[in-house]
Structure 1
Amino acid sequence: MADGVCSEFTVFTKIKPGHADALRKDLAELTSGSSAEGGRAALKEIGTLHDARHVIFDDDTRHMFASVFDGSWDTYIDDFARTAVGARFEKVFSHTEGFPGIADPHVKDWFIAHQAPAGVFVSSYPDLTVQQIWKNQRVNEAFQAVLDTPEFRAALDDPANAALLATPAFQKLLDEAAG
């Protein structure tokens, strides 16, 4: 399902017998130290993933991977396979039954066979891509830095800027910055 530019992807798999602890260990390793940094770098390179999560459930017999991303599903999977995330997928899904490997030409078919589309999917920001959110964050940080300068404070007090300061758009900008 999609909501605006955001799409959801959820996969349910069976964990190979006796692999739950190894899967749990591999998931923990992926989120610690240099592995976590490498994962973040790959996700930044891809630039379309909003969030992702792995869950082990049903008495350690099943695994769920769920994510929210921008763009087409095919591009999403292709992007993951061509980056360090592919090796991460390989490591995690190797603990699940029937996973053919991330480089296998039938891997998309395997994911589709294990996918369970959401009955409802809602995004809090359906019209914002990851790239737009990152840009908005950078612009906000830069704007907040400007607000903190003595030069900006002096400009607010300068009578020559009174007309600009009185506009509803400028007042809204200041209100948003304060809030």
Structure 2
Amino acid sequence: MPDDQDWSKPAALAIPKGGYFELERGRFGPIFPRTPACYGFSIIAKVKPGREDAIREHGKVLEQAVAADPTVLAVLKLHYLRWQVFPIGDDLYFQYQGIFDTDFDKYTEDAVALFSATGIDTVFTNLEGFPADWKENPAAFVEFVREHHVPSFLEYGEYPYVSADEIKKALRLKAAFSDMLDQMQ
């Protein structure tokens, strides 16, 4: 990984096939590197038969939770989430892509705690092989994610290595300057 983490210069990072440069172990297995896009993971898993509508409904549940409390997912330090449902042959698959500011272990622990505290289940409950005891057994949650994780081989950041909090701070500063300039006219 390059030492130069200058946010003002776009950066790309080619990632080795295994998903990391040097094997460093965390609480739940290998630690994937911070890239110009920060941290993240992608999974592709088979949808349980008849659960597509439940997955799509879960998207609405999260939309409503965020509308009711815009900070409900704040602990996860997310930049973006992307969910997709698509067919492969006669089967339906779900793809999860998440980009966030913490390492994978912390994200997983925070996600399990968040879902347990809010009563919102993870969408992963609709996927084949997802452990029923995931709330009490974060290690089983992690094992499922790691088994279905598809590492990136390239990540790019237009403003690399910048946290979501830094972006929000910069936008608040921009709004304050804009307001100040408006007051001067």
> Do the two structures share a fold, i.e. TM-score over 0.5?
yes
Aligned-residue CA RMSD (Å): 2.3
Cα deviation code 1:118-166 (max 9, x no counterpart): 121112221310110111111111111111123xx6xxxxxxxxxxxxx
- Structure number with greater CO (CA < 8 Å, separation at least 6) is 2
1:39, distance to aligned residue in structure 2 (A): 6.4
The answer to whether the Cα contact below 8 Å between 1:49 and 1:130 also exists between their aligned partners in 2 is yes
Question: Could you list the runs of 4 or more consecutive aligned residues of structure 1 that deviate by over 3 angstroms after TM superposition?
Answer: 84-88
C-alpha contact (below 8 Å) 2:40/2:104 kept by paired residues? no
Letter in 1 for 2:99: V
User: For residue 98 of structure 1, what is the aligned residue in structure 2?
Assistant: 129
2:85 aligned residue (27, 51, 56): 56
Aligned twin of 1:142 = 176
1:20 and 2:49 correspond = no
Residue 64 (structure 1) shift: 0.5
The aligned residue for residue 43 of structure 1 is: 73
- Which stretches in structure 2 are left out of the alignment for 5+ residues? 1-32
Query: Do the aligned partners of residues 139 and 47 (structure 1) sit closer, same or farther apart at CA in structure 2, a change above 3 Å counting?
Result: farther
Q: Distance in 2 between matches of 1:38 and 1:76?
A: 22
CA distance in 2, matches of 1:5, 1:121: 6
Mapped contact 1:5–1:71 kept (Cα < 8 A): no
The structure with the largest strand share of the pair is 2
Map 1:2-17 → 2, pairs under 5 A: 2-4=34-36, 6-17=38-49
SS of 2:53's equivalent in the other structure is helix
Instruction: Pick closer, same or farther for the CA change 1:75–1:39 going to 2, 3 Å.
Output: farther
CA displacement at 1:26 relative to structure 2: 2.3
Aligned-partner Cα distance in 2 for 1:77–1:87 = 16
Question: Given residue 43 of structure 1, which amino acid in structure 2 is its aligned partner?
Answer: L
Pick the structure with greater CA Rg: 1
